[in-house]
Every structure is written in C-alpha cells, then in structure tokens.
Chain A
Amino acid sequence: MAAVPANKIYSVYQINRMVDDRLRSDFSDIWVVGEVSNFKAYPSGHLYFVLKDERSQIQAICFRESAQRLKFQLKDGDLIIGHGRVEVYVPNGRYQLILDTIEPKGLGALQRAFEELKRKLEKEGLFKAERKRPIPQLPRVIGIVTSPVGAAIHDMLRTLELHRAHLKVLIYPVAVQGEGAAEQIARAIWDMNTIEEVELLIVGRGGGSWEDLWPFNEEVVARAIASSRVPVVTGIGHEVDWTIADFVADVRAATPTAAAAVVARGWEEFEQRLDDLWSQMNERVQEFIFEREQEIEALIKHRGFELVHRRLSEAQYQIELFMNVLSRVVNQKINACFQDLNLRIERLNRQNPAARVMRWRVMLETFSSRLDKAFSNIKTPLEARLTKAAASLDALSPLAQLARGYAICQKPDGGVVMRVDDVQVEDEVKVRVADGRLDCQVKNKMKGV
C-alpha cells in the first residue's frame, strides 16, 4: 500500500460528521412526498416511520415539538407531503429525514388499493350483515389458519384452554406476511373447507406494520373467506387494524386472542347455563315439595276433618264416663266380697284348734305355779337344818385350828413336818397360818425344846 499522509486518514466518526455537515447544508430546507409505513408513536412524543414510494424508502422522524402541531392522526398508508431536513445519525451512520411539517396528500398506493377493493366487495354485498352466519355454539373441531410460529398461535391456544373450550384444533400453517402469503392463506381456507369435521375457522395473525398485514387485504383472501362453507372468525393485528378479511368475515375479533375467546365463549356459556339450570331445577323441586307439604297441611286443617275430630273426642268422653261408672260398680262389688270374706275368716278363727291349746296352756301354767309354792314350803326348813349342820362340821376342821393360832409346817413335797428329823438344816419348808403361808428355811434343829 502506498504511503498515506497521517492527516489524510479519517476516523469513522470524522467521516460521519463530514457527511452530516454536507447533508445539513445541502438538504436543510426540502419538501418530500411519500407514503407512511411502519409508523410508531413513542411515549416520548416523537414519531418514527418509514417514508416510501414505489422505488425507495427513507427513515423519517418527527420530533415531539413538531408532532404536537400536526393537524391529523398520522398512520400507516397515509400519503403525505412533509418539510424538513436530512441529517446523519452519527452513532450508526444512517441518514434520516427530520420533518417539522407534515400535510396529508390524498391516499398512498396501498391505501388506494385497500379503498378500491373495499368499495368493490362492498358493492358485491360481501360485507352485508345478512351474509354473516352465526358461529356454532359448541364447536367440536375448529381450524386455525395462521403462522405456526410466534405469539399469535400461542395466545389463541392458551385462550381456548383458559376458557375450557373442549375442542379439537387443526392448525394449517401458513406464511402470514410477504410474497405469496395471501395465496397460501386463501388455499388454506379452501383446504380447510374440504375437511368435513371442521365446523369453524379462525384466520389470524399478530400485530405488525400495515405492509405486514397486507396479505389480509388481498382479494384472493377475501374471496376465500366469502366462499367458505364454515363460518370464519378473523383476528388480525391489533384493535385499530381493520383489513378487508375482517369486513368479509362472519365475526371480526380485534386480535387473535379475542378471536379464540369468541370461539370459546359458547363453551363457557354452556357451562354457566348448565350451572344455572342445575340450581333452577334444585330450587324448583324444593319449592314443589314445599308446596305439597303446604297442601297436606291445609287438608289436615280442613272442616271435614275437624268434624271427625269433634266426633272422636265426644266418643272418647262418653267412653270415659262409662268407664267411671263401670269402675265404681266393680269397686263396690269387690268391697262387699272383702267384707264377707273377713266375716268368714273371723268365724273360722273361733273354731281354730290353736286357740284351745292356748287355753290348756294357761291352765297348765296355773297348776305349775301352785306346785312350785308347795315345794318351797317343804324346802326352806330343810335348808335351815342343813346350814346348822355344816357350821358344826366347820369347828372340827384343821383349818379352824389354825384360826386359833396353830400353824402347819409342810415340806416342799407337801408332807407335814411332824418331827425334827423330818427336815434337814437349810431345807425349805412352808408354814401355813390361818390367813396364808410363810416360805421358811430351817436354820437350826433342836430336839426336845
């Protein structure tokens, strides 16, 4: 490489700054015409979009100060005339259009195509309310024509599940944007119509730019929906997006999620209705039973029954009266019998042999006491003589001698000591006196004292 002077080598930043300077001086005050696409309004108030025509496009910005002065709502598909400048966004080197004034300039090409097709189909009567068919209340099998990737299919399936829709879902995967998408969608709708079990179709896609949604604005899709055997529910883009497909559809839901909810609603209502009927039925039967109870109650209180009641109680009273009389008569009879019985018992008692024995016993006792008295008359003088004899006998007793001061000396074996030799010195002897005994020891023996 040839030697390059250092002051001729630019940094990336320097290049972007130089281009920016050039653009700012050359395009500081320009007018532009183009169609708005990929429009985004940021919370900051700045508006970002792409301005384009058949051949080219450029990134455009309308900052908040200018955006606040706009006299109309900018949106995708608008054809506008704008005034502003061109500059480079230095950090990424891209150049962009900064617009300070925006005026509407009729319709853009896509918008024009949209309006034309809409007018044409409307004239054919494809949007008419009477063409719209009710969707089946409880569909068993539904078809979904959408992209198999992305949030839309996921949201739809989740919504169906959430609302407890008892369905079989057949997904027909298609491209939902770009070249050939419209034809794929139309083909899918036709194909779905050949599958007998399918009762309902959802045609949908998630949010995107005006161009992204474009396939749903094409005639081939509109025709497919219009000729569908089964009702079609559309859920395309966001709330604000209305496509031709939405106009032709039997039901247009704001989003794919809303479309799924519409389909599931019948199932949800079915369950509620079932619960309602259940409780109505219960209530009704309870009422019914209550009414019957009331009727029976009323019957019981009826006059006819009251008469019977009165007769019954009268009869009862008479029976009671009769019973009273009867019991009195019976009691009298019984009392009379008892009296008679007592009399007889008394009479019988008088002839009782036990009474005679009693009389005999009294007589016997009298005799016995007289006999006792006679006996004691004989006994007493005999006893006195016996006492006297005993006293004389007493005077002769050895015991009586003791009373006069004599003593008897006995050996331990009881033998009476008659002589000195009957004992040895130190022998123990018992000496009996009148009122007791003395235990003594022989200290000495002396004969002849």
Chain B
Amino acid sequence: MAGKNSEIESIDFEQALTELEKIVKELEAGSLSLEKSLVLFERGVKLARLCKEKLAAAELKVAKLIKEKDGVFTEEPFKPED
C-alpha cells in the first residue's frame, strides 16, 4: 500500500506551489537579468509541469479499514456494494 502511495508522496505539492509563487514574485519584481529570469522561468515551467503531470496521474484510492483482534488495522479494497 505504501508503495502504491509513494507516487503521490514523491512530490511535495505545497512546496512546489510555494516555490512557484516565489518565482512569479521574483519575476514580477523585474530587477533580474535576462539570463537569471529565464533560468527562473525554466524552473517554474518544470515545477508546474511536474505538478500537472502528477495531478493527472494520481487517482482516488479507496480502502476499507478492518480492525484485527490484536488491534492492528488492515486495509481491504472497498466496494460500494458492500
């Protein structure tokens, strides 16, 4: 289960968004050289594209929790017809 979930966890969406916001802010400040701003732009494009791709790939995963006798929980596939 943890393995399946890792594709969601492998990218920190919040961090990516924060960095993107910073990039846009820096670009808007307008005090950068052309080269520097293009480097920032490139980084921004990469981040945004990565997020988009991850969002497109990730799906809703649904599991039902079963409490075992020893108090440990196991996950079972959930079917709405249950």
Residue interface mask A143-168, B partner, CB < 8 A = 1: 10000110001100100110011111
Q: How many of chain A's residues touch chain B, expressed as a range?
A: 35 or more
Q: Which of B43-70 contact A (CB under 8 A)?
A: 44-45, 48, 51-52, 54-55, 58-65, 67
Report the interface size for chain B: residues with CB under 8 A from the other chain. Answer: 39
Indicate if the CB atoms of B61 and A167 lie closer than 8 Å: yes
Indicate if the CB atoms of B8 and A137 lie closer than 8 Å: no
Indicate if the CB atoms of B37 and A274 lie closer than 8 Å: no
In the complex, what distance in Å separates the CA atom of A164 from the CA atom of B30? 35
Q: When A and B form their complex, what is the total count of cross-chain residue pairs whose Cβ atoms lie within 8 Å?
A: 102
In the complex, what distance in Å separates the CA atom of A210 from the CA atom of B61? 33
Q: Which of A265-312 contact B (CB under 8 A)?
A: 270-271, 273-274, 277-278, 280-281, 284-285, 288-289, 291-292
Give the residue of B9, B30, B41 whose beta carbon is less than 8 angstroms from that of A281: B41
Is B3 at the interface (CB under 8 A from chain A)?
no
Indicate if the CB atoms of A171 and B64 lie closer than 8 Å: yes
Indicate if the CB atoms of A169 and B63 lie closer than 8 Å: yes
In the complex, what distance in Å separates the CA atom of A170 from the CA atom of B65? 6
- Give every chain A residue within 8 A of B61 (Cβ-Cβ): 167-169
Is A172 at the interface (CB under 8 A from chain B)?
yes
- Give every chain A residue within 8 A of B48 (Cβ-Cβ): 274, 277-278, 281
With contacts A148-B82, A277-B24, A284-B27 known, is A168 near B63, CB below 8 A? yes
Interface residues of B (CB under 8 A from A): 5, 8-9, 13-14, 17, 20-21, 23-24, 27-28, 30, 32, 34, 37-38, 41, 44-45, 48, 51-52, 54-55, 58-65, 67, 73, 75, 78, 80, 82
For the complex with contacts A271-B55, A280-B24, 15 further pairs of A-B residues with Cβ separation under 8 Å are: A140-B5, A148-B78, A161-B60, A166-B60, A168-B63, A169-B60, A169-B63, A170-B63, A171-B63, A270-B17, A274-B48, A277-B17, A281-B24, A284-B24, A291-B30
Listed A/B pairs (27) with beta-carbon separation below 8 Å: A140-B5, A141-B5, A148-B64, A148-B82, A153-B80, A157-B62, A164-B55, A166-B60, A169-B63, A170-B63, A170-B65, A170-B75, A171-B63, A171-B78, A172-B65, A173-B65, A173-B82, A192-B65, A274-B51, A274-B52, A277-B17, A280-B28, A281-B27, A281-B41, A284-B28, A288-B27, A292-B34
